[in-house]
Amino acid sequence: MPETADYLWLGMAVTLGIMGVLVASYVARARGLEKDAALLDELEKE
C-alpha cells in the first residue's frame, strides 16, 4: 500500500482552511458593520 497519508492531511488542512476563512469573513464583516453603524449613529447625532 502506498504511503500517501501526508497528502490526505494536506487536503484536510486545505478544506478546513477554506471553510475557516469563509466563517471568519462572516465574523469580521459583522464586526465591521457594527463599527460602521456606531459611526453613523454619531454622525446622525451631530
Partner 1 sequence: MSASSLSQHDNPSAQAVVPRAPRNLLILTVVTAVAVLVGLYLGLVWVHTDPDQGQVQRLFYVHMPSFFGAFAAFGAAVVGGIAYLRTRNPRWDALAVSGVEVGLALSLVNLLTGSVWARPIWNTWWTWDPRLTSAAIMCLTYAAYLMLRGAIENPDTRRRFSAVYAILAFSTVILTLIIIRIRPDTIHPVVVGASPQNAEGTFEATRSTAVALIPNLLIWTILVPWALMWWRVRLQAGIDWVAARKAAVMEREGN
Binding site for partner 1 (CB under 8 A): 1-5, 7-8, 10-12, 14-15, 18-19, 21-23, 26, 29-30, 33-34, 36-37, 40-41, 43-44
- Nearest distance from residue 25's CB to partner 1, in Å? 8
Main-chain dihedrals φ then ψ at residue 3, nearest 5 degrees: -90, 95
Run of H or E including 10: helix 5-45
What number of residues does the chain have? 46
Alpha carbon 28 to chain centroid, angstroms: 7
- Nearest distance from residue 40's CB to partner 1, in Å? 5
- Nearest distance from residue 12's CB to partner 1, in Å? 7
